Structure 1
Amino acid sequence: MLPWRFKNFISENFPLLYHKISNIGVKVNTAAYWDEIYDKEWDSPKRIWPTKNKLIESETRPTDAILDIACGTGSILRHLKKKGYQNLYGTEISPLCKRRLTELGITAFESHLPKIDYQDDSFDVVIASQILEHIIKRDRFLDEIKRVARPDATCFLFVPDDCLGPIDEPSHVIKFTRKKLTQLLSKHFTDFSVTSIKDENFPMPILYAHIRIPQD
């Protein structure tokens, strides 16, 4: 058995390698994997982000077409639905989530990231909450966000802030710092800010990127 310090070194410096080695024989990021998790955690407090909900609500309008990518249990969309938002969409790899959100009146569709299976220029608001750290082809994913966002759209992106690498969360393939996230976003967007916040439900810090898509 490898010493923890050695495993932590690999996780910190070669996170994708650690992710692949630690998940040999384990199917993560599959429909069945997430169906099982979301079925257990559908109404769990660990899936509810009050601070994010308030932030997104304060920066959007009930008439906006809003897409939450890899929306999980749909806690953000369900919050907005209760606040009178009607034009809500969610993508998920999990058929269970798609079915339950559809029953709640939220348009949900399956999408296997990094591809987003939706038309160009469709949404006023795009949310990617705690998902970028799961994606290997991050450049393609960010290009997909730009593609489905309308001109003058707003995007909200959240990732753990210098915590929860693959040694902590086996489905994670990278651990973001503010510098790493800024460098990545700079390749795709010109108008954005990155700040560190905390959600009232969680002790861990979160990087929050507020991205503005330019008008044509």
Structure 2
Amino acid sequence: MYQNPRVSQNLVNEETNRKDYYKIYEKIAQDQEKFFRNRFETVLKGIPTGKVLDVGCGTGGFLKVAKDLGWDVYGVEVSSLAAHASIDKLGIGITEGTVEEANYPNEYFDLVNMSHVLEHMPNPLKTLKEIKRITKPPGYLLIEVPNEKNFKIRNFLLNLFLHSGTGEKFAPRNYHLYLFTKDTLASLIDKSGFKLLLIEEEGFGVKGREDWILKSLNPFIRTLAFFVKRLQLDVHIRLGHYLIALAKNNK
């Protein structure tokens, strides 16, 4: 879904280059590592190591885990601040700019990750087609985006049980150029030429994510939240905050 009115690309670039924009990732680095390691142990389980590209690699959390697991890691990031943080953390070259500007060789990567990036793209279909070009058959694409379905209800509950304004922290739609549901994300992936293998809603009760979410809770709500995350109630009542999709380049 096209966000209208939409924020200008210049404003998005200014936001992602603010010095305090990535401070939260410094605070939750250990939890992030658990989260991304869980991705490799579950959704990406059984995929052989090779070259992996993280599009919008931020401060390098995903790439650090991938490197530890034996992957040959590459990152591309539009934020100069985040790109330099990734270089400092990993000791590898990060390409500053968009994936289109990076101009990687044809069929170069075995896995491409996009975590909370696609919703910021001015032309998501063009971006996915570029990623298909640089993905080696039978390579994989992993996408995570905010779930637009039932957003207002979910946002209200987050602000009720967490600190006021937390809902917007978890889905700051003002900076999202596109909004996705399961159907619209699946359709976009299909149009790009990838074969969709998996698409599902995901809640807060995922290893790693659960830890830093609980830290934001009012202490009186933590006990309730413990059972919510254990039972994945947010997903079962169709309030999963995230969408995750895995696709394959069968060419």
Note if contact 1:111-1:117 (Cα within 8 Å) is conserved in structure 2: no
Q: Name the residue aligned to 2:142.
A: 156
Q: Which has the higher helix share?
A: 2
Q: Name the residue aligned to 1:91.
A: 76
Note if contact 1:191-1:211 (Cα within 8 Å) is conserved in structure 2: yes
177, 181, 196: which one pairs with 2:185? 181
33, 38, 43: which one pairs with 2:26? 43
The code of the aligned residue for 1:196 comes to: E
Note if contact 1:66-1:89 (Cα within 8 Å) is conserved in structure 2: yes
- Does residue 211 (structure 1) correspond to residue 236 (structure 2)? The answer is no
Rate the CA distance shift 1:67–1:31 in 2: closer, same or farther, 3 A: farther
The C-alpha deviation readout for 1:23-79, integer Å capped at 9, x for no partner, is 6xx943326743524453341228827444312355266741100001112111122
Q: Name the residue aligned to 1:131.
A: 117
Note if contact 1:88-1:107 (Cα within 8 Å) is conserved in structure 2: no
Note if contact 1:65-1:87 (Cα within 8 Å) is conserved in structure 2: yes
Cα distance in 1, alignment partners of residues 181 and 33 from structure 2:
21
Note if contact 2:57-2:77 (Cα within 8 Å) is conserved in structure 1: yes
Q: Name the residue aligned to 1:7.
A: none
Shift of 1:170: 1.8
Secondary structure of the 1:119 match is: coil
Q: Name the residue aligned to 2:106.
A: 120
Rate the CA distance shift 1:124–1:36 in 2: closer, same or farther, 3 A: same
Cα distance in 2, alignment partners of residues 160 and 18 from structure 1:
18
Shift of 1:120: 1.6
Cα distance in 1, alignment partners of residues 21 and 38 from structure 2:
23
Rate the CA distance shift 1:38–1:85 in 2: closer, same or farther, 3 A: farther
Note if contact 1:196-1:208 (Cα within 8 Å) is conserved in structure 2: yes
Taking only the aligned residue pairs, the percentage that are identical comes to 24
The code of the aligned residue for 2:87 comes to: T
Note if contact 2:54-2:74 (Cα within 8 Å) is conserved in structure 1: yes
Cα distance in 2, alignment partners of residues 40 and 29 from structure 1:
17
- Does residue 17 (structure 1) correspond to residue 4 (structure 2)? The answer is yes
- Pick which of 46-55 and 137-146 moved more: 46-55
Note if contact 2:17-2:80 (Cα within 8 Å) is conserved in structure 1: no
Rate the CA distance shift 1:121–1:96 in 2: closer, same or farther, 3 A: same
Q: Name the residue aligned to 2:86.
A: 101
Shift of 1:85: 2.5
- Does residue 73 (structure 1) correspond to residue 109 (structure 2)? The answer is no
Structure 1 gaps, min length 5 = 1-13
TM-score (norm 1): 0.76
Alignment length (residue pairs)? 197
Note if contact 2:193-2:249 (Cα within 8 Å) is conserved in structure 1: yes
Shift of 1:84: 3.5
192, 195, 202: which one pairs with 1:197? 202
Rate the CA distance shift 1:72–1:122 in 2: closer, same or farther, 3 A: same
Note if contact 1:62-1:84 (Cα within 8 Å) is conserved in structure 2: no
Note if contact 2:59-2:83 (Cα within 8 Å) is conserved in structure 1: no
Structure 2 gaps, min length 5 = 156-166, 214-233, 235-239
Rate the CA distance shift 1:57–1:91 in 2: closer, same or farther, 3 A: farther
- Pick which of 174-183 and 97-106 moved more: 97-106
